[in-house]
Amino acid sequence: MKKFFSDKKKARGFKEFLYITPFLVLVLVFSYYPLYGWVYAFFDYRPPFPLTKETFVGLKWFQTMVGNEVRIKQLLMVLRNTFAMSGINLLFSWFPMIFAVFLNEIKCTPFKKVVQTVTTLPNFISWVLVYSIAYSVFNSTGVVNSIGMSLGLIEEPVMFLQSPDHIWFKMWLWNTWKNAGWAAIMYIAAISGIDEELIEAAKVDGASRMQTIWYITIPSILPTYFVLVMLNLANFLSNGMEQFYVFQNAFNKESIQVLDLYVYNLAMGNGGYSLSTAISIFKSIVSVVLLCATNKASKLIRGEGFI
């Protein structure tokens, strides 16, 4: 009787497995199978021919990556951009935290709500829309140039979007415009979790507002900040490509191309599928090393990892 029962249970479990098989297949096909595509880095791949018709070239593409001076120069340029943009992001990563801390100090609730609502909205529009907005505001007839001209601050329209000047900082600004309000929400949640008693006690002891912020609020949300910095570090080479893709043009290309965008441009623009796969493998390896290193560092400093 017992055996029969367990068999029935097994049969049911297997039936349930059949229910989820289609979805498991989707996962295999779209997440695991592409990993197999890494072999393209070892072939001279020219679509649409199947892999069996391609020549195996071993590590040729990894050598090409640093093979001649032009490539080295290009790779160095791309790495410089990637490091600069990630570096600026990391350097200013405290901004959303401070944004949240002082927003929390505002006593007028309606004002606070409006600020929060308005500053969070840009997070939900795509980079294409952000670019469209940037274009509308900063092109030669846009509001910034119009006001600048009518006030006599500038003689002729400034080509904000075309010029490669300060492009790293501009990219950080757009990223902040889009994300700061959203990123602050996490800190606002952390701040609301601080024990009221602590703040009361500080007030009773005669702490000023800045002192309360400095000695209570900030230390309480520092762990959250720390985890985010670690994640930032681990993703140092992955800035994503969408933002830089929409903002790139012939003039700023040299200083805007980050690793992710370079991989795309190389493959889609020049058909260098194999070379670009080789570069993205190289990137993945460095990223894994970074992730492990930051996790180790986190363990050393805080006594716990974050993965």
Partner 1 sequence: MSGKEKLDKRKKVKYKRSFGDRLISVLTYVIYSLFAFVCAYPFYYILINTISSNDLSARGKILFWPREVHFTNYAQVLKIPGLLQAAKVSVGRTVVGTAITVTVAAFLGYMFTRETLWHRKLWFRMVAATMYFNAGIIPWFITMMNLGLTNNFWGYILPVAVQPFNIILCKTFVESVPKELQDAAEIDGAGTLRIFFSIIVPVIKPILATVAIFSAVAQWNAFQDTLLLVTDEKLYTLQYTLYQYMNQANSLKALISSSSANVDFSAILARAQTTTSVRMTVTIVVVTPIILVYPFFQRYFTKGIMIGAVKG
Minimum distance, C-beta of residue 121 to partner 1, in the bound complex (Å): 6
- Kindly give the residue spans of alpha helices, DSSP state H, lying in the chain: 2-27, 33-36, 60-65, 69-91, 95-105, 109-120, 127-138, 143-150, 167-192, 196-204, 209-212, 218-234, 242-247, 253-256, 259-264, 270, 273-302
C-alpha distance from residue 255 to each of 65, 83, 245 (Å): 19, 11, 12
Is 54 a binder of partner 1 (CB under 8 A)? no
Only one of the segments 22-30, 62-70, 86-94, 295-303 lies at the binding site for partner 1 (rule: CB under 8 A); that segment is 22-30
Applying CB under 8 A, what is the total number of residues that bind partner 1?
A: 94
Among 7, 16, 165, 195, binds partner 1 (CB under 8 A): 16
Rounded CA-CA distance 181/100 in Å is 8
**Dist CA 168 CA 175 (whole Å):** 11
Give residues 258-277 in contact with partner 1 (rule: CB under 8 A).
260, 263-264, 267-268, 273, 276-277
Using the rule CB under 8 A, give the single segment among 31-39, 54-62, 65-73, 214-222 that binds partner 1: 31-39
Residue 198: alpha-carbon gap to chain centroid: 35
Smallest gap from Cβ 272 to partner 1, in A, equals 9
Contact call for residue 73 and partner 1 (CB under 8 A): no
Sole binder of partner 1 in the list 73, 203, 296, 299 (CB under 8 A)? 203
Phi, psi of 161 (to 5 degrees): -80, -30
**For residues 74-93, which are near partner 1 according to CB under 8 A?**
none
Residue 140 or 220 with smaller CB distance to partner 1: 140
- Using rule CB under 8 A, residue 6 touches partner 1: no
For residues 149 to 168, the per-residue mask of contacts with partner 1, x marking binding by CB under 8 A and - elsewhere, is: --------------------
What values do phi and psi take at 185, rounded to 5? -60, -40
Q: Is 102 in the site for partner 1 (CB under 8 A)?
A: yes
Tracing tokens 């500038």 back to the chain, one arrives at 154
In angstroms, the first-to-last Cα distance of the chain is 46
In terms of CB distance, is 91 or 118 closer to partner 1? 118
Backbone phi, psi, residue 196, to 5°: -55, -40
Among residues 241, 244, 258, 294, the one that binds partner 1 under rule CB under 8 A: 241
According to the binding rule CB under 8 A, does residue 27 interact with partner 1?
yes
Residues 104-123 touching partner 1, rule: CB under 8 A, are 105-106, 111, 114-115, 117-122
Please give the full DSSP string across 49-68, using - where no structure is assigned.
S-GGGSPB-TTHHHHHHTTS
Question: Quick check: 218 binds partner 1 (CB under 8 A)?
Answer: no
Instruction: For residue 76, give every residue at least 6 positions away whose Cβ sits within 8 Å of its Cβ, in sequence order, or none.
Output: none
Q: Does 40 bind partner 1 (CB under 8 A)?
A: yes
Instruction: Pick the binder of partner 1 from 56, 91, 126, 286 (CB under 8 A).
Output: 126
